[in-house]
Amino acid sequence: MRLIRYIQDNIARPGLWKDGRIVDIQKWLPDAPDIGESFFRDGWVEKVADIHDPGQSIPARLTCPIVNPSKIICLGKNYAEHAKEGGFDSPATPLLFSKAPSALTGPFDPILLPGSSRDVDWEVELAVVIGKTCKRVCKDRAMSVIAGLTVMNDVSGRQAQFADSQWFRGKSFDTFAPLGPCIVTLDEIADIHNLLLTTRVNGQLMQDGTTRDLIFDIPALIENISEDITLMPGDIISTGTPSGVGFFRKPPIVLKAGDRIECRIEGIGSLMNLVVDENQ
């Protein structure tokens, strides 16, 4: 099942994506909430799975597939080759940081270059959406608390990231978390730890990795994070990026207005975002 949110008549609506067609969830389940904490907490994933509708071609655009998550938890240096390209050792334990939920934007919305910081970069990442309130989840049952998977571009303002003593600001500028295009439930993913991730900038392949190379896999991450932090339905864990980011290239490549970025994960889909100067 593929959960989406789409804009129709300037209103965001919850839906399902079926072979390029949209199913309006609220047509069949009028009481269904938007796709966020209550949607997952109150069992709406199971309810919408019973909708048998082939969908229709609705003139609409997809938007961020989740609304108002309580937190976005991210992983740094969780692919060995990415750590190496930055000149870092692989971490001995998961390196956690956060992005502000206000950074979220849709899968086809523009990424705004901030006037206050330079050196904006891309990072394709597999993002895990939590489906249940949980704490101290052992690895053996970690998969049971996952609502689904999606794609995130962990857009990074490198100047701010490395000038500050921590990463929050450089990772949290508005529009620095394109997410989508859908949330895919685990029954549609053959192997969560064998997915291809790619980034193309203006058609040129920049990142080409696989989740086989995660240093800390998904169950290990959920166990580690939930040891001390209660995970809420709708929370996002973005699991790190493979090598191939722009800033660590020689010479560095950074995003500029007019660039087009495609971040794709096998079995889930693509983000396609145009880079725009926020002052335009």
Size of the chain in residues: 280
- Asked if residue 82 and residue 26 are part of one domain, the reply reads no
CATH code (residue 127): 3.90.850.10
Predicted confidence pLDDT, tens digits, the chain (280 residues)? 999 999 998 999 999 999 999 999 999 999 999 999 999 999 999 999 999 999 999 889 999 999 999 999 999 999 988 888 888 888 999 999 999 999 999 999 999 999 888 999 999 999 999 999 999 999 999 999 999 999 999 999 999 999 998 899 999 999 999 999 999 999 999 999 999 999 999 999 999 999 999 999 999 999 999 999 999 999 999 999 999 999 999 999 999 999 999 999 999 999 999 999 988 7
Task: Pick the last residue of a domain from 25, 44, 63.
Answer: 63
68-110, pLDDT tens digit by residue? Answer: 999 999 999 999 888 888 888 889 999 999 999 999 999 999 9
Report which of 68, 39, 276, 65 is spatially closest to residue 152, judged by C-alpha positions. Answer: 65
Same domain, 258 and 136: yes
- 3-class state of residue 212 by DSSP: helix
Which of 32, 63, 94 lies at the terminal end of a domain, its last residue?
A: 63
Do 55 and 167 fall within a single domain? Answer: no
149 shares a domain with 27: no
Between CA 225 and CA 230 the distance in angstroms is 8
Residues 56 and 130 occupy one common structural domain: no
Which residues form the domain of 192? 72-277
Asked if 170 and 161 count as a contact pair (C-beta separation under 8 A), the reply is yes
First-to-final CA distance of the chain: 39
Number of structural domains the chain divides into: 2
Give pTM, 2 decimals.
Answer: 0.96
